[in-house]
Amino acid sequence: MNADLKFCLPYLRKYRRKIALGTGALVCKDLAGAGVPLLIKWAIDALTAGAPLGRVAWLAGAVAALSLVKGVFMYWMRVILVGVSRDVEYDMRNDLFAHLVRLDGGFFARYRTGDLMARATNDLNAVRMMMGPAVMYLAETSLTLVLALGVMLAVDWRLTLWALAPAPLISVAVAFFGRRIHDRFEAIQKLFSDISSRVQESLAGIRVIRAYVQEEAEMRRFQELNERFIGENLRLAKLSGLFLPLLHFCIGLTFLLVLWVGGLRLMEGRITLGSFVMFNTYMGMLVWPMIAFGWVTNLVERGRASLGRIRELLAVEPRIAAPASPKAVPAGPCDVELHAVGVEFDGRSALRGVSLRISAGETVAIVGRTGSGKSTLVHLIPRLLDPSSGCVRLGGVDVREFDPRELRRRIGFVPQETFLFSATLADNIALGAPGASREEILRAALMAGLEQDLASFPQGLDTEVGERGLTLSGGQKQRVAIARALLRNPEILILDDALSAVDTLTEDRILRSLREFMLGRTTILISHRVSTVREANRIYVLEQGRIVEQGSHEELLELNGYYADLYQKQLLEEELEQI
């Protein structure tokens, strides 16, 4: 509990003025509420003593005025304190998202998207309920209890002790059920994450599900998860179903004791009729605190379970982060060097002692079989991952000494898996250069070979591409991604198999338009096509994470190795296509 409080304090401290105002409204509301039964007592005692009607009318007016004051402060109490909980939720959600986007790819391999979405929505909502309504009503009911009991003890301490007799039973019930509610809700939230992940994956892969006629199977899997989720919720409902009636039983027992003992003391003349009515009025006021303690316990335990899940994410440190004193990234073209680089994933080597040097302004290509480590190699340059051994240098400086954000601003990277957002073509192209003009966006699109496509799109650059670029072909998505990289005007351009989905004619047209752009820039090409890489200054061939061949197109053909074999196969394929 102390760790939870320590985590929440910085968020609450930001709104300390609002909290102070809300707490002031809460105190004024409870003071006004505690004064009403006293006025009722005085009015009844005045009536029984035969006081003038004018005094009784004045007391009645005072009760109405104090009730109005109580209502006004209750309104502001709720508006301010519940509003603070909304502000805290807003800040937490922003911090959580900002933290998530800083984490490395390994984190997202361990956590499912649906699980992260559940924590950012459902869990944060539970935390808000704990930090807003739960804390507010706990403070309100505690103060009401203290004020009411203070007055009751002053009037008749013996009757007050009888009224408090069921209190230990309430404490035992809160302690017994609180832990169980916490554990049950934590299990429910995990199942909610599983359901969110299942829905997200099914909708993202709906085309595959339909192609393999797996609709019924997916429905069965979802139904099984849903049944488990409902089962856990029903078990929580049973706990709450036992908890709340037990509290009501204790409340009823308290009323019974006050009526019985208070009635006897009234008949014995030990208390006045006004005091007896006041006691019962206070007991009516204490019904809500007794019920609220159960409700607040439920909210607090739910909130703590969810807060633990959020803190778990925020505790994950990004493996790739800026050093304490980052060096400035060199301006202009500079050499890229990999020195004895090794990369391991879960004990499996992706790269083994790779060393190469790319001179400033040079174009190099990397080829190799699937799984040979090509994409892993180029991911090292913008620090999308760090090597397990060795180092990557830019301008003679280890890239780990730069701020990753500044480093990536100098690099135009087109990954193997193209991702487009549900926005317009222009918005997708301008992702890395939000201040780009319309003319600059169009120029990048034309350079990427989108001229004919733009003419066929209904709204040109303003055409909505749908979720993940659903309305575009694979080749069109790749060309949009290339345009996105070109628009940044990068000093280093990396194309990771970025032309695999276009035909050879389109590829040739794009490469011709890129040649002028690539002049003076350090460019790295990855491709399975010899036609893409043959004009590179140097070509590296990777095999099982090692460089096994290197040289120009002509030099590699003379070696008669993997590259020459690949070239001969592709020549044969082209000849067969022409038949």
505 pLDDT tier (thresholds 50, 70, 90):
confident
The arithmetic mean of pLDDT across residues 181-195, rounded, is 76
Residue 218 vs residues 118, 210, 224, 376: alpha-carbon distances, Å: 20, 10, 10, 34
Whether the per-residue pLDDT at 50 is higher than 60: the answer is yes
pLDDT digits (tens, 9 = 90+) for 204-216: 677 677 766 777 8
Gyration radius (Cα) of the chain, Å: 35
Q: What per-residue confidence (pLDDT) applies to 575?
A: 65
Distance from C-alpha of 262 to C-alpha of 25, rounded to nearest angstrom = 33
Distance from C-alpha of 209 to C-alpha of 187, rounded to nearest angstrom = 29
Between 227-231, 250-254, 353-357, 575-579, the lowest mean confidence (pLDDT) is in 575-579
Distance from C-alpha of 77 to C-alpha of 135, rounded to nearest angstrom = 12
Within 8 A by CB and 6+ apart from 14, the residues are 87, 91
Whether the per-residue pLDDT at 1 is higher than 60: the answer is no
Pairing of strands 522-526, 492-496: parallel
DSSP label of 269: T
- 82 or 112, greater pLDDT: 82
The domain 15-314 having CATH identifier 1.20.1560.10: the answer here is yes
Pairing of strands 389-394, 336-345: antiparallel
112 pLDDT tier (thresholds 50, 70, 90):
confident
Whether the per-residue pLDDT at 113 is higher than 70: the answer is yes
Single-letter code of the amino acid located at 490: P
Count other C-beta atoms under 10 Å from residue 9's C-beta. Answer: 10
DSSP label of 328: P
Q: Which two tokens stand for residue 377?
A: 């190699």
- The class that CATH gives domain 336-578 is alpha beta
CB 194 within 8 A of CB 114: yes
Q: Which two tokens stand for residue 231?
A: 């089962």
The arithmetic mean of pLDDT across residues 162-172, rounded, is 69
Distance from C-alpha of 127 to C-alpha of 310, rounded to nearest angstrom = 9
* Dihedral-angle region of residue 526 (phi above 0 means left; psi in -120 to 50 means alpha; beta otherwise): beta
Distance from C-alpha of 263 to C-alpha of 506, rounded to nearest angstrom = 97
DSSP label of 551: E
Percent of the chain having pLDDT more than 70? 92
Could you tell me the residue ranges of all domains in the chain? Answer: 15-314, 336-578
233 pLDDT tier (thresholds 50, 70, 90):
confident
Q: What per-residue confidence (pLDDT) applies to 145?
A: 78
Which helix (H) or strand (E) segment holds residue 368: the answer is strand 363-368
Whether the per-residue pLDDT at 235 is higher than 60: the answer is yes
The arithmetic mean of pLDDT across residues 69-98, rounded, is 89
Output the CA angle 266-270-275, nearest 5 degrees.
60
DSSP labels, 250-295: HHHHHHHHHHHHHHHHHHTTSS-HHHHHHHHHHHHHHHHHHHHHHH
Q: What per-residue confidence (pLDDT) applies to 223?
A: 86
CB 400 within 8 A of CB 391: yes
Q: Which two tokens stand for residue 370?
A: 């699937």
Mean pLDDT of the chain: 81
The arithmetic mean of pLDDT across residues 223-233, rounded, is 85
The arithmetic mean of pLDDT across residues 560-574, rounded, is 80
Whether the per-residue pLDDT at 68 is higher than 70: the answer is yes
Sign of CA dihedral 160, 166, 170, 175: positive
With 0-12 / 13-18 / 19 or more C-beta atoms within 10 angstroms meaning exposed / middle / buried, residue 316 is: middle
Whether the per-residue pLDDT at 287 is higher than 70: the answer is no
Q: What per-residue confidence (pLDDT) applies to 425?
A: 83
182 pLDDT tier (thresholds 50, 70, 90):
low
Q: What per-residue confidence (pLDDT) applies to 21?
A: 92
Q: What per-residue confidence (pLDDT) applies to 193?
A: 75
Q: What per-residue confidence (pLDDT) applies to 211?
A: 67
Q: What per-residue confidence (pLDDT) applies to 43?
A: 75
Q: What per-residue confidence (pLDDT) applies to 168?
A: 67
Distance from C-alpha of 532 to C-alpha of 372, rounded to nearest angstrom = 18
The arithmetic mean of pLDDT across residues 502-525, rounded, is 80
- 207 or 401, greater pLDDT: 401
**Where does 268-417 have alpha helices with state H?**
273-314, 374-380, 404-409
- 574 or 139, greater pLDDT: 139
Whether the per-residue pLDDT at 444 is higher than 70: the answer is yes
Q: What is the dihedral of CA 424, 425, 427, 428, to 10 degrees?
A: 120
SS3 204: helix
pTM above 0.85, yes or no: no
72 pLDDT tier (thresholds 50, 70, 90):
very high
The arithmetic mean of pLDDT across residues 30-39, rounded, is 80
Residue 426 vs residues 180, 462, 502: alpha-carbon distances, Å: 53, 6, 21
Whether the per-residue pLDDT at 396 is higher than 80: the answer is yes
Distance from C-alpha of 104 to C-alpha of 101, rounded to nearest angstrom = 8
45 pLDDT tier (thresholds 50, 70, 90):
confident
The arithmetic mean of pLDDT across residues 366-389, rounded, is 87
Q: Which two tokens stand for residue 71?
A: 């209502």
Q: Which two tokens stand for residue 489?
A: 């005007």
User: Smallest Cα–Cα separation from 491: which of 515, 517, 512, 516?
Assistant: 517
SS3 542: strand
Output the CA angle 299-14-131, nearest 5 degrees.
5
